[in-house]
Chain A
């Protein structure tokens, strides 16, 4: 999941430095040709998900459709999709992350508007959790249908470490700050952070800004309003981060701890760190890496703490609402493509397959199914967390245009290193 999405191993495949620039332009002509009248579905390579996607395509074909699945590695996929959309070799249905990433394609006129389809078919629209469906809503129109599990960010903690210190998990920011002191005096690193990868630091920024300023603050930034980065809530959130770093909440070696190599997760599991803010995939990750830690019942989870006086609803979540299937505007088989996304993705078998694979689908009314599946305590909690969330903010690095997101991640790392003040962080982004 996240491993796939954020892995650095993928860029290696696309390497080639200067020549790679030219190679990308060549992809446009070497891509796979469209499959006649049938529809071509593009998705990411994923050992767990691909068989489920195949099954949905087979069921569609059994009902008279003609679809085929093509899968790609993560980074090559992003590059290939960019070049293919708008070329004669565009896929008919394509996997995406919603948000700003999808908005770029929408602005270029490459994505079909699915609003009429959803409006004419209320049963379909109501099949999905609204806050998740909204992540593919651009300018009040829907451009994607959720096709997999939800991945909100939550605060994990080591119950044994909390027991030993005689404390409870934080409910408010004050709790968190005082817990940092408690654990420091216990000789435990208060919070694990895989700071060599900026997206792990981003989770702190996303939650703090939402708690302090509410979702509107980031929506202004995303809309590109002048000086939106200089809003007081941004400065306040970044100051809270700066204070947390200076307090020693993340220890002193976070800048070289990686997530992909398991650093942050392992120190939480071993009890060397007390808390870890991570996407919901962390549970499956811990189950794979440190099964005895999860089976002992020592892995705990709580929502991100509330911030006193903040504008944002403490029920709001951030992370990856889900992934979407969107339909290409240039598709010659658009009706068939829409038929596919409107019939297959809330099918009981498809949803059950996702649940069996450990996903928490963005589909309404699956409480009973989750309760019957393994790890139901956790999946049900995630499901209810998202379902009750007034707002689900997509990760900023997915929601902002790619160039701004890349710059923002760099600046955020500098902030965590203490090389940039909160004001300088805001100024550098506002000036860009």
Chain B
């Protein structure tokens, strides 16, 4: 970068971003924290009710189950997306022409809106008219079997977001200096060794970035589940954000829904801090010393 310590942009540059954040993120968050200590049905004014919502949350099996479901969902989504995105990304970083053509195809889901993707998969997986019923998988109730539905949602999420993360890995893999591979080849390292000892360590921070995006993104997944299953069958896919939505906007328990929202915010922030801590983000240093 050309900026040096002497020519740092003034703090004023941050003002628009800061204003946006304050108005659309910080202020609503403060209001939600306030609402979490009230009882409010949307009629009239919120009535403070102390810690009632919080003690109710501790004993609310449905809410706690939705939290566990969210944790499982997030872990599954991360575990499914990361290896696929990493491998395709590294592969797509190659300069060969066929790779360029194929990767632009891989990125197609990126162009579709979440609602369109959810509708598309809902139609494909329909038990009566879906195309999946025609093939060898016919008879499997992807959205109707409580034991399968959550995995189906993970699959759709993976299909949707792998291209984005692939893009991250592709970009990062292209910045790895070719000289590293050249010298490794001279030292007799094969493809697998090169990947393991050069590519992976070099992509470390991309993995962290992509993981944080995945974890926080999955934690707040909402429309896909709402459209695809509505949280069903029963509550098999009712993850916490959807449970919050149903509590707030179907049950009109805005106060209690805010309590769930606060918990989600705490979870999300905590998780990204944890990921950074584990990966020692603070001591981040160049991976290319000596180059």
Which positions in A face B, CB cutoff 8 Å?
A: 8, 11-12, 14-15, 17-25, 75, 79, 82-83, 85-86, 104-105, 108, 110, 195-198, 252-258, 261, 263, 266-267, 272, 402-403, 405-407, 410, 413-414, 417, 419
Give the most central of A86, A255, A263: most B CB within 10 Å.
A255
Return A312 CB to nearest CB of chain B, in Å: 28
Residue from A14, A417, A419 having most chain B Cβ neighbours under 10 A = A417
Query: Is B171 on the interface with A (CB-CB < 8 A)?
Result: no
Q: Across the interface, which residues of B come within 8 angstroms of A402, CB to CB?
A: 41, 250-253
Q: How far is the CA of A43 from the CA of B62 in the complex (A)?
A: 35
Q: Are B251 and A407 in contact (CB under 8 A)?
A: yes
Q: Which of B24, B28, B122, B265 contacts A261 (CB 8 A)?
A: B122
A255 and B145 contacting across the interface, CB-CB below 8 Å: yes
B239 to chain A, nearest CB (A): 12
Cα distance A419–B29 in the bound complex, in angstroms: 37
Q: Using CB atoms, name the residue of chain A closest to B35.
A: A21
A417:B234 contact, CB within 8 angstroms = yes
Q: Could you say which residues of chain A place their CB within 8 Å of the CB of B264?
A: 18
In the complex formed, the residue of B with least CB distance to A254 is B144
CA of A137 to CA of B30, assembled, Å: 40
Task: Say how far A297's CB is from chain B's closest CB, in angstroms.
Answer: 24
B43–A18 touching, CB < 8 Å: no
Secondary structure dominating the interface of A = helix
Nearest-neighbour CB distance to chain A for B127, whole angstroms, equals: 4
For B220, the chain A residues whose CB sits under 8 A away are 17
Tell whether, in the assembled complex, residue B257 and residue A21 are in contact, meaning their CB atoms are under 8 Å apart.
yes
Contact residues in A for B145 (Cβ distance below 8 Å): 255
What chain B residues lie within 8 Å of A419 (beta carbons)? 146, 234
B226 in contact with A21 (CB, 8 Å): no
Say yes or no for B115: interface residue by CB 8 A criterion.
Answer: yes
- Tell me whether B222 and A17 are in contact (CB under 8 A): yes
The interface residues of chain B lying within 8 Å CB-to-CB of A198 are 232
Task: With both chains docked as a complex, state the minimum distance between the C-beta of B254 and any C-beta of chain A, in angstroms.
Answer: 6
Measured CA separation A213–B136 after assembly (Å):
47
The 6 closest A-B pairs by CB, nearest first: A256-B144, A22-B28, A253-B127, A82-B42, A255-B233, A406-B251
CA A257 – CA B146 in complex, angstroms?
14
Instruction: Decide: A12 and B127 in contact? CB cutoff 8 A.
Output: no
Task: Kindly state whether residue B229 has any CB partner on chain A within 8 Å.
Answer: yes
Query: B62 contacts which of A15, A83, A410 (Cβ < 8 Å)?
Result: A410
**Distance, CA A17 to CA B263, complexed state (A):** 13
For window 256-288 of chain B, which residues contact chain A by CB distance below 8 Å? 257-258, 261, 264-265
Interface 9-residue window, one of B160-168, B177-185, B197-205, B240-248: B240-248
